[in-house]
Amino acid sequence: MAFELTFIGHAALGLVADGYKLLIDPYLRNNPATDLNPETVEADYILVTHGHGDHIGDTVEIAQRTGATVIANAEICTWLGQKGVKVHAQHIGGGFTYPFGYLKLTLALHGSRLPDGSDGGNPAGFLLTTNADEKVYLAGDTGLFGDMRLIGEEGITLAVIPIGDNYTMGPADALRAVKLLSPEVVIPIHYNTFDLIAQDAEAWAEKVQAETDARVHILAPGERFVYP
């Protein structure tokens, strides 16, 4: 069974798994990298890695309109639940079997305060095991951490990791992350949206492909990666 991942722009992603439409960190309206409209975008589930505005984005509006279930940590789910959004709270290390696959929250080293100053709990990443046993790791905003090796031991099909530097891993640490994760394919995100996170993804890809067995797939905003 194939899955499709669309790089919407910045850290916003679309993922279709077993026919289910997932939106990840749907920062659309104020996102300079996309024209996708929160008033029309479709979603069955919305995954939110942490509370920062460039990730929680238009989650409330999209979830209220579509009825999509939002999956995030317990603190973010409490905040969303108070706004009438349908939620499924998990926490780091915990997994749950949804119709689209088994989804586990993973460690991320970052912050997670919500736009109104509420406590957004700990930031997270996601590890999805699809119904066809492919493993998709969405790192979220994070610095490098050694336990990426443990995530890599699961056998990663696709890793989606930040390379922008300043707020997250930069290119050098992202290369080290690829070595710990040993994914079949890696897609860089969270770069070039703003001047502060400008990076040369092509140069990074050359280094990764010279030093690891991973295949780098660079997506421009709006482009889609289909596996296999």
* Site residues (vs Mn ion, CB under 5 A): 54, 141
CB of 8 to Ni ion, least distance (A): 16
Cα 2 to its chain centre, rounded Å, is 18
Residue nearest to Ni ion (CB): 52
| Of 58, 75, 134, 141, the one binding Ni ion by CB under 5 A | 141
CB of 50 to Ni ion, least distance (A): 6
Tell me the Ramachandran region of residue 116: left when phi exceeds 0, alpha when psi lies from -120 to 50, beta otherwise. Answer: alpha
Please, which residue, 139 or 214, has the CB nearer to Ni ion?
A: 139
CB of 206 to Ni ion, least distance (A): 27
Q: DSSP state, 184? A: S
52 lines the binding site for Ni ion (CB under 5 A): yes
Residue 28 makes CB contacts below 8 A (sequence gap 6+) with: 8, 12, 34, 36, 37, 38, 41, 57, 58, 62
- Kindly report whether the peptide bond that precedes residue 123 is cis, defined as omega within 30 degrees of 0: no
Please, which residue, 101 or 123, has the CB nearer to Mn ion?
A: 123
Cα 180 to its chain centre, rounded Å, is 18
CB of 74 to Mn ion, least distance (A): 21
When CB distances are held under 5 to 8 angstroms depending on the partner's kind, the choice from Ni ion, Mn ion, none that residue 173 binds is none
Please, which residue, 100 or 145, has the CB nearer to Ni ion?
A: 145
For the chain, the first-to-last Cα distance in angstroms comes to 8
- Provide the binding-site residues for Ni ion, judged by CB under 5 A: 52, 141
